[in-house]
Amino acid sequence: HHWRYHIPRGTTLIVNVWAIHRDPKVWDVPTRFKPEKFEEMIEDDREGFNFKFISFGVGKRACPEEGMGFRTVSLVVGMLIHCFDWETVGQELVDIGQGFGITL
> Does residue 101 lie within any of the structural domains?
no
pLDDT at 104: 54
Do 31 and 80 lie in a common domain?
no
Q: What is the DSSP letter of 94?
A: P
Same domain, 40 and 18: yes
Do residues 35 and 73 both lie within one domain? Answer: no
Give the chain's domain count: 2
Render pLDDT for 14-37 as a digit per residue (tens, 0 to 9). 778 788 888 888 888 888 888 787
Position 8 pLDDT exceeds 90: no
User: Distance between CA atoms of 43 and 53, rounded to whole angstroms?
Assistant: 12
Structural domain contains residue 79: yes
Residue ranges of the binding site for heme: 63
Q: Binding site, residues?
A: 63
Which secondary-structure segment (H or E) carries 79?
Answer: helix 66-83
Mean pLDDT is lowest, of 3-7, 46-50, 67-71, for 46-50
SS3 40: helix
Residues 48 and 70 in one domain: no
pTM of the predicted model over 0.75? no
Could you tell me if 9 and 47 lie in one domain?
yes
Domain of residue 72, residue span: 63-88
Q: 53 near 17, Cβ under 8 Å?
A: no
Residue 20 belongs to some domain of the structure:
yes
CA distance 17 to 54: 7
Q: Establish if 96 belongs to a structural domain.
A: no
Higher pLDDT, 94 or 74: 74
